[in-house]
Amino acid sequence: MLAQSYMPAQSIHIVKNLENDKISPWYELNESEMILDTPSWNFYYAELRSF
């Protein structure tokens, strides 16, 4: 699942996976491609964080 916010981070929302309705809102991370495409932004693997 991917959460997104803009600066300053006053509100956070969950990003829907529009490419795969079967697993939405979850995303599959393909580490061999090193990029995660979302409707509003592309995330490189090195930019992703978890908590």
Q: Where are the domains of the chain?
A: 1-51
For residue 37, what are the β-bridge partners?
A: 42
Q: How confident is the model over 10-50, as pLDDT tens digits? A: 788 888 888 888 998 888 877 777 888 887 888 888 887 77
Is residue 3 classed as helix, strand or coil in its secondary structure?
strand
Q: What is the pLDDT of residue 25?
A: 87
Q: What is the pLDDT of residue 43?
A: 82
Q: What is the pLDDT of residue 40?
A: 80
Among candidate residues 46, 39, 43, the one with its CA nearest the CA of residue 20? 39
Whole-structure pTM over 0.75, yes or no?
Answer: no
